[in-house]
């Protein structure tokens, strides 16, 4: 049975089949978690990204993981928050859903996500967490483990409280069925 794990840490250290990167559409690296992943993984990842040229917002691509302990990296491009009126929620949902589908297509059964779009792209953390965990709940039985890696203690507390609310709702639904 699949598990959802929420933890605080640096995603570059995760020993999973695949980690997800919060990339931008140029796929040339950047700051935040993107910078950390490219620095830790090394040149082989950047050169594979460069060959792919670009990736649209809400989409994702897969590369090797260079020096990381993970086997693969999925580079997902989250939306820039601009008030919520430009389809940001659907685009962020697509990032998670397509990353999970791409992992399954490659037979990768353990996956770790950062909080996509909630840093430089300014997506409100609580709303983003709901989207991330909703997708986690929908896919969890297809994976051995889905890990959400929070960089800060504040983000960890938000993920934990949203998780508890959703897990209670899920139990109520199962109980009434
Ligand atoms: N491990 C896990 N999470 C991390 C790490 C790390 N090593 N470093 C940063 N984070 C967290 C941030 O604290 C934030 O919660 O990742 C989350 C996403 O923040 P960003 O990295 O800024 O990503 P995003 O908001 O999606 O913006 C993407 O930033 O640098 C660029 O190239 C990237 O242009 C793209 C943009």
Among protein residues, the one with the nearest Cα to ligand 1's atom 12 is 119
Cross-strand pairs, 18: 72, 111
Among protein residues, the one with the nearest Cα to ligand 1's atom 18 is 119
Q: Which pLDDT belongs to residue 170?
A: 79
Q: Over the stretch 48-80, which tens digit does the pLDDT of each residue have?
A: 999 999 999 999 999 999 999 999 999 999 999
Q: Which pLDDT belongs to residue 169?
A: 86
Q: What is the CATH number of the domain that holds 98?
A: 3.40.220.10
Q: Which residue, chain included where needed, has tokens 């209670």? A: 168
Alpha carbons 177 and 162: distance in angstroms, whole number: 23
Q: Which pLDDT belongs to residue 176?
A: 61
Reduced to 3 states, what is the DSSP secondary structure of residue 141? Answer: helix
Helix (H) or strand (E) holding 138: helix 125-139
Question: What whole-number percentage of the chain has pLDDT above 70?
Answer: 99
Low-confidence ranges of the chain (pLDDT < 50): none
Among 10, 17, 34, 53, the active-site one is 34
> In terms of residue numbers, what domain contains 40?
3-175
Q: Which pLDDT belongs to residue 120?
A: 98
Alpha carbons 175 and 117: distance in angstroms, whole number: 35
DSSP state of 148: E
Q: Which residue, chain included where needed, has tokens 């297509």? A: 105
In angstroms, what CA-CA distances link 129 with 19, 55, 84, 107, 158? 17, 23, 15, 25, 8
60-64/72-77 β-pairing: antiparallel
34 is catalytic: yes
Q: Is the dihedral of CA 140, 68, 151, 83 positive or negative?
A: negative
Pocket test for ligand 1, best of 5, 11, 12, 22 (most atoms within 8 A of CB): 22
Work out how many domains the chain is built from and give that number: 1
Q: Which pLDDT belongs to residue 172?
A: 79
Reduced to 3 states, what is the DSSP secondary structure of residue 69? Answer: coil
Q: Over the stretch 77-98, which tens digit does the pLDDT of each residue have?
A: 999 999 999 999 999 999 999 9
Neighbours of 1 (CB within 10 A): 5
Pocket test for ligand 1, best of 114, 122, 126, 159 (most atoms within 8 A of CB): 114
Q: Which pLDDT belongs to residue 49?
A: 97
Among protein residues, the one with the nearest Cα to ligand 1's atom 5 is 33
Among protein residues, the one with the nearest Cα to ligand 1's atom 3 is 151
**How far is ligand 1, taken at its centre, from the CA of residue 31, in Å?**
7
**How far is ligand 1, taken at its centre, from the CA of residue 80, in Å?**
12
**How far is ligand 1, taken at its centre, from the CA of residue 73, in Å?**
15
């Amino acid at each position: 049975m699949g598990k959802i794990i929420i933890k605080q840490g640096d995603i570059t250290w995760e020993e999973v089949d695949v980690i997800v990167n919060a990339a931008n559409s140029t796929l040339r690296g950047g700051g935040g978690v993107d910078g950390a992943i490219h620095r830790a993984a090394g040149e082989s990842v950047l050169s594979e990204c460069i060959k792919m040229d670009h990736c649209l917002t809400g989409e994702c691509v897969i590369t090797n993981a260079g020096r990381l302990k993970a086997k693969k990296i999925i580079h997902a491009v989250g939306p820039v928050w601009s008030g919520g009126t430009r389809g940001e929620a659907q685009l962020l949902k697509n990032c998670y859903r397509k990353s999970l589908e791409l992992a399954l297509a490659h037979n990768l059964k353990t996956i770790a996500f950062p909080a996509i779009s909630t840093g430089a792209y300014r997506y409100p953390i609580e709303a983003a967490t709901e989207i991330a965990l909703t997708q986690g709940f929908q896919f969890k039985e297809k994976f051995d483990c889905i890990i959400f890696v929070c960089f800060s203690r504040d983000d960890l507390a938000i993920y934990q409280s949203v998780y508890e609310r959703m897990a209670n709702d899920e139990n109520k639904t199962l109980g009434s069925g």
